[in-house]
A and B are shown apart, each in its own frame.
Chain A
Amino acid sequence: QVQLQESGPGLAKPLETLSLTCTVSGGSINNYYWSWIRQPPGKGLEWIAYIYYSGSTSYNPSLKSRVTISVDTSKNQFSLKLNSVTAADTAVYYCARVERYNWKPRAMDVWGQGTTVTVS
């Protein structure tokens, strides 16, 4: 049973860089896409980015200038860096596994429990 666990600081100061890591357990990071999604308080889900285990990436255009997603297959982890954070980046951040179908990303079938990040 694959499980995902987000980790990182729960508090960030404005203009700092937020760094989060998602650790994959119970399965390999290989042969899947991996994604970050966030949810501001009381609002809906916002897709941030995904990365294939081999390193190819896709970003939300509205966040692309501030976001970097990376993968470390040796540690079975993938990470998110978000630069120059503001209060608008306050959210619950989720990591998720993305199915691969015909070599393309499909649904997010396994989710982490989420980690709350406050920018203040």
Chain B
Amino acid sequence: QSVLTQPPSVSGAPGQRVTISCTGSSSNLGAGYDVHWYQQLPGTAPKLLIYANTNRPSGVPDRFSGSKSGTSASLAITGLQAEDEADYYCQSYDSSLSGSGVFGGGTKLTVL
């Protein structure tokens, strides 16, 4: 069981908006640790999508956005495209685990 909780799957039609939630606790997201999001396309290494809750690295389309409030965070994808079909992971750090890194269980996004 992952320290950060994500829905196993979400889906949406092309052009739609989807959101992926990431729920933590008072020892990680609620303790002020930032959340980061990664996209993993089939058969490839993860890629940083959102860092420090809301920031996009250079080259990431603005269709991707992140937010965080209290012990929860969300990744939103607007204007869904077929190429967005991938696994998405949230990640943070946890003070109850001596500051070690933690991942969510991952969410499979299916573009219908």
Contacts and interface: CB of A to CB of B under 8 A. Distances in A.
Contacts of A112: 45
Contacts of B44: 113
A34 to B, nearest CB: 12
A66 interface: no
A99 B93 CA distance: 13
Interface in A37-87: 37, 44-47, 49-50, 58-61
B36 A107 contact: yes
Interface centre among A47, A105, A114 (most CB of B within 10 A): A47
Contacts of B36: 106-108
Contacts of B57: 109
Contacts of A99: 51
Nearest to A48: B101
A58 B100 contact: yes
A118 interface: no
A107 B91 CA distance: 8
B46 interface: yes
Contact of B89 (A35, A45, A59, A109): A45
Interface of B: 2, 34, 36, 38, 40, 44-48, 51-52, 57, 87, 89, 91, 93, 97-106
Interface of A: 35, 37, 44-47, 49-50, 58-61, 94, 99, 101, 105-109, 111-114
